[in-house]
């Protein structure tokens, strides 16, 4: 079911992440962190802390892995399933 986002957020596809931490370093509001857990390729992956993203997109442009980060801006119309997929 489509919903309109009231605030921005990002999704990180943990299997695409190589844990380089570039996104964490560039995020102006410091809402990303490295996970204690490993993905299936043996990398600690980056995670969104869950709140505070402004949707600026800086992390997306810094990430060297295509498809690892998706930025959803406030006001975007998305399928609510994106909250349950990882």
Binding mask 14-43 for ligand SF4 (x = CB under 6 A): ---xxxxxxx---x-x-xx-----------
Q: Which of 5, 39, 55, 78 binds ligand SF4 (CB under 6 A)?
A: 55
* Cβ-contact 85, 6 below 8 angstroms: no
How far the first Cα of the chain sits from its last, in Å, is 18
Alpha-carbon distance 8 to 38, whole Å? 26
Question: Kind of pairing, strands 2-4 and 77-79?
Answer: antiparallel
The one-character DSSP state at 15 is T
Instruction: Tell me: does residue 47 bind ligand SF4 (CB under 6 A).
Output: no
Instruction: Tell me: does residue 71 bind ligand SF4 (CB under 6 A).
Output: yes
Interaction site with ligand SF4 (CB under 6 A): 10, 12, 17-23, 27, 29, 31-32, 46, 53-59, 62-63, 65, 68-69, 71
């Amino acid at each position: 079911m489509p919903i309109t986002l009231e605030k921005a957020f990002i999704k990180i596809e943990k299997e695409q992440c190589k844990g380089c931490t570039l996104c964490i370093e560039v995020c102006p509001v410091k809402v990303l962190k490295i996970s204690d857990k490993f993905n299936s390729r043996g990398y600690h992956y980056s995670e969104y802390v869950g709140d505070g993203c402004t949707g600026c997109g800086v992390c997306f442009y810094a990430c060297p892995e295509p498809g690892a980060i998706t930025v959803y801006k406030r006001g975007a119309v998305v399928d609510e399933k994106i909250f349950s997929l990882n």
